[in-house]
Structure 1
Amino acid sequence: MLEILLQPFQYAFMVRGMLAAVLVGVVCAVVGTFVVLRGMAFFGDALAHTILPGLAVGYLVGGGSRETLFWWALGTAVVSAVSIGTISRKLRLKEDTAIGIIFAGMFALGVALISSVRSYSVDLAHFLFGDVLAVRESDLIRSAIFGGVVLLLLYAFYKEFALLSFDPILAATLRLPAHFLDLLLVILIAVAIVVSLQTVGVALMVAMLVTPAATASLLTRRLPLIMMWAAVIAAFSGVVGLYLSYYLNVASGAAIVLTCTVGFILVSLGRSLRERFFRVSTV
């Protein structure tokens, strides 16, 4: 058993992959807590897909450079997030309508760019489906810096975000800058998504935002504990997923997400059984 646990760490890429999976898991889980509380799962999924044209243009401009791809993806994500809020507010459209418009347009643009130059469509596949084992030291440092900024801002505005999530009427009564805080939150979600791209990819990104936080919400109702449990679940899923990827030879991003999903199923079943037992014992 000890040999099974230690064997992957003989390779530097596995060590970097483990660190990246834990880092991404913690950042996405903490941000994802507010995504779940505010019912923004569709927004997170749409925002992840709107990054596609940024990746395509970044590849063309930088010739495949990871640094260029990261900055173009980040810029595209932030612009898309701001555009959704602006369209919804200025044109008085429902937010899900604005999300659908930006999501469809940006994703179609990304597909068009990728399909027009077939030579790089394969090179971008790891951003679509994730390839945490290809994380380099520079990628890890960049992810740690931006992930740390996201967590720091969430800590600084924790009370405001919590109040807006649980009682927006009281937040308005207290004259909190709701528009600024909403904009800040969507930008933090955008940054978390870009930081996580190489780990789980565009296609599976929403799972890292939603599943750990949803699982944690079944274990406790206190927001700080939900964040803590979500971070633990996501980090644990990242480590277990990488072990499965290593020994079963499956895609690392898919293995991590499937581990998260299995965890959610087990916790939900355990809660159902506990509630049923409690009802029977009180009869």
Structure 2
Amino acid sequence: MSFFTDPFSTEFFARGLIGGSIVAVICAVVGTWVVIRGMAFLGEAIGHGMLPGVALATVLGLPVLIGGAVSAVAMSVAIGVLQRRGRLSYDTSIGMLFVAMLSLGVIIVSHSRSFATDATAMLFGDILAVRPVDVVVLAGALALTLTIAVVFHRSFVAATFDTRIAHTLGLDPRRAHIALVGLVTLAVVASYQAVGTLLVVGLLLAPAVAARAWTTRIPTTMGVAAGVGILAVVLGLLASWHLGTAAGASIAITAIALAAASSGARALGRRTLRRRATHATPSVTPQLTAVR
């Protein structure tokens, strides 16, 4: 039993667990919509779009979360402006800004004296460095995420499956899309401390993918995804403690492994049901013949 309890008896590991669990719930709510809408590339782009702000804040000695948030918001706004006013497609706009922001972040960090340390923290996060004030900020981000998700739920559903119905119901699909981009931005910024900019997409996608294999309703998918995400945080932190691996990367790879296991189990269950149905069919045929 001490294998599971010893790591979390330390204060910094316990805070990492609490902070990581909050991040997991945020990513579960937002990640469900990311998977349904096919917005994974947007999440990755915003994650790397944080780099210039984080790098600049690091060099200037300012709070990195604020710098990352400003940079991520700027990235989101720029994507919207390019899409509306330019002739570029949505994916092309994201791709160009993705490369531009990533390059700018690397250029800024390269001027820092602690290049290797800063780059590692930016890309892979440091969940074990979560402070009590960070937990409070994450709790506020979770409350804001849930509020937006509830308020815009009907708009998200209508805009996802049929924009014509959304207009008929008096809903604005473009406004819903802006709100959803805002949610993705919020989730990416909130997840930065836990898994960094490189691995945030894994935490956004993997729990939702694992949940989608077993659920059909959106709120249920969010709930199951939250459970999978929290499990990934617990197992990832345990692996980090006992194996001496990076905590953020351990959490991300655990989430991916859980998604793969969930999909595999679901596929196996379906094959088993089909096999049983095939074996059951011949036994029914003679009975029907006898009745005739």
Under TM normalisation by the shorter chain, which class is it? over 0.9
* Post-superposition offset of 1:125: 2.1
- 1:196-228 deviation per Cα after TM superposition (whole angstroms, max 9, x unaligned): 101011110100111111111111111111111
Residue 75 of structure 1: how far off its partner (Å) = 1.0
- For residues 247-276 of structure 1, the C-alpha deviation after alignment (integer angstroms, 9 at most, x for no partner) is 111011111111111111111111111111
Q: Which residue of 2 aligns with 1:20?
A: 19
Structure 1 residues not aligned, in runs of 5+: none
User: Match of 2:285?
Assistant: none
1:123 Cα deviation after fit: 3.0
Give distance in 2, aligned partners of 1:59 and 1:272.
46
Residue in structure 2 matching 1:207, options 198, 202, 210: 202
The normalised TM-score by structure 1 is 0.94
Residue equivalent to 2:282 = none
Q: Could you say which structure has the greater relative contact order, defined with CA pairs below 8 angstroms and 6 or more residues apart?
A: 1
Matched with 2:113 is 118
1:90 to 85, 91, 103: 85
Moved more, 120-129 or 16-25: 120-129
1:248 corresponding residue in structure 2 = 243
Q: CA RMSD in A?
A: 1.3
Letter in 1 for 2:264: L
Contact 1:82 1:187 in 2 (8 A): no
Instruction: Give the counterpart letter for 2:132 in structure 1.
Output: E
Please identify the structure whose Cα radius of gyration is greater: 2
**Whole-Å separation in 1 of the counterparts to 2:9 and 2:227:** 25
Match runs of 1:237-276 below 5 Å: 237-276=232-271
How does the TM-score come out when normalised to structure 2? 0.91
CA contact (8 A) 1:241 1:259 kept: yes
**Structure 1 CA distance for aligned equivalents of residues 265 and 119 of structure 2:** 40
Q: Is the 8 A contact 1:241 1:256 kept in 2?
A: yes
| Corresponding residue number in structure 2 for 1:56 | 55
Distance of 1:111 and 1:258 partners within structure 2: 25
Q: Secondary structure at the match of 1:197?
A: helix
Which position in structure 1 is the counterpart of 2:214? 219
Shift of 1:169: 2.5
Q: What amino acid maps onto 1:87 in structure 2? A: L
Match of 1:74 among 58, 69, 73: 69
List runs of 5+ in structure 2 lacking aligned partners: 279-292
How many equivalent pairs are there?
278
